[in-house]
Amino acid sequence: MRTAAKSRTRTLNLAAITALVFLIGTVAPNVSAVPSATNPACMASKGTWINSSLPQVETGTFRLAFDATPSSTGIDGTAGLSSGPASGYTNLAAIVRFNSTGTIDARNGAGYTAASAIAYTAGTAYHFILDVNITAHTYNAYVVVSGTQRTIGLQLAFRSEQAAVSSLNNFGAVTAVGSQTICNIAVSAVAPVITTQPVSQTVTAGQTATFTVAGTGTAPMNYQWQKNGAAISGATSSTYQTPVTAASDSGSQFTVVMSNAAGTVTSNSATLTVGAATLLLNASATQVSFGNVNVSGSSTQNVTLTNVGNFNVTISTVTVSGAGFNAGGGVTGLILSPGQTASVSVTFAPAVVGSATGSVKVTSNASNSPATITLTGTGVAQAHSVNLSWASSASSVIGYNVYSSKVSGGPYVKLNSTPTTATTYADSLVQSAQTYYFVVTAMGSNNVESGFSSEVSVLIP
């Protein structure tokens, strides 16, 4: 069939017209057709390899389109992309094929595959589209059959031998059985496709929220984030972080428009939910008792502070009142995130005998500030003890008696009510600033007590 073009004497066959109409209607802007001077509009593939250079070396994401017409239904015709002229199947990275069983498939790593059975017939022109991502070493393969685009395969891996190729610059084809005619080879940009949509976020008032999008398409890729349909100034990357949020921001809808030379796509809406901030700082104890503590001694206990709210709490001051009480731990100026804890060490070091009271106040930006901890303790005179020991008797004895006196030489007072079989004794009733004198006797098996041992003296501080 021949169709006369208006005001022209040149005629085109129907297959060429169909292919031309498809390219005009579907190929994205800035398409670069292979120059006819070095790459004719059509190439015949039969038996030997044919090659056609691409307009430029491709290193990112791009679209290859071409028409292929099989001579019969049982051919074995392969076409694809390579780095340099192809002379063998392993040179090709992204590949489509008319296989000998009469269907169309594509290479995925180590073998061929197809999303569904796509039959081909002799003499019919098929329009192939390969969306290639060299960085990821993957491609999507499509074919137009009777005006309908069919998917051959998505996210197909480059042929295993070309899994690490960094650039592609050649179209190659070979038909081992039968023949095919390849026409209208064209390279263009790939329109954006969103692969990861922005996700709705829930934050607390005073925090920020971050939205992210991911997609594929030919670089350079442009981004423009929108809030409730209005463009956000300066929000032009794949990630957008909001300013500090307020309760009034709750319910806002965020979208992003991705665009490149081939087209534009708008993401799904992501909702921002802003909850009210709760600032609460709890102490593990509201009252600490130190009991009896020796004068000039000390006792320390720890109190744990916990942020039980949903927003950061800043501790501004820690103040202590009460004689003998002190607090440490370096928590002043500390910022506690929700769930985080800090420890305050509280010490009681009495200087005098008697009971004492005090408090620790932890001031912060929490709504229940200040956290107050009541302190109690009693200062007592320091307790002393005298530990005595002696050598055991050479005679048979049933025990020993221990005597003490505040005067050298006695009179002595017996400290134990019954003889002790041990050769040690502790006197914990001594008092400060006193001198004590001690002697020991042995009690024989006949209940006869020996004389006093040598006297020892101790000055209690």
Helix residue ranges, H only, 217-325: none
pLDDT value, residue 14: 29
Nearest residue to 135 via CA among 57, 237, 61, 55: 61
pLDDT value, residue 432: 77
pLDDT value, residue 385: 87
d(CA 94, CA 154): 12
Residue 70 and residue 122 in contact, taking contact as beta carbons nearer than 8 Å:
yes
Confidence of residue 37 (pLDDT cuts 50, 70, 90): very low
Residue 260 and residue 219 in contact, taking contact as beta carbons nearer than 8 Å:
yes
CATH class of the 386-459 domain in this structure: mainly beta
pLDDT value, residue 423: 95
Q: Taking residues 326-335, what's their average pLDDT? A: 92
In the CATH scheme, what is the homologous superfamily, with its name and number, of domain 193-275? Immunoglobulins (2.60.40.10)
What's the CATH number for 281-380? 2.60.40.10
Q: Taking residues 359-373, what's their average pLDDT? A: 96
* Residues 411-422: tens digit of each pLDDT: 999 999 999 999
Domains 3-188 and 193-275 share a fold: no
In the CATH scheme, what is the homologous superfamily, with its name and number, of domain 3-188? Exo-inulinase; domain 1 (2.60.120.560)
* Residues 148-195: tens digit of each pLDDT: 999 999 999 999 999 999 999 999 999 999 999 999 999 999 999 999
**Would you list the domain boundaries of the chain?**
3-188, 193-275, 281-380, 386-459
* Residues 429-461: tens digit of each pLDDT: 887 788 999 999 999 988 899 999 999 999 988
Q: Taking residues 291-303, what's their average pLDDT? A: 90
φ/ψ of residue 327, rounded to 5? -140, 145
What six digits make up the tokens of 339? 């769930």
Q: Is the per-residue pLDDT at 8 higher than 90?
A: no
d(CA 186, CA 188): 7
Q: Is the per-residue pLDDT at 5 higher than 50?
A: no
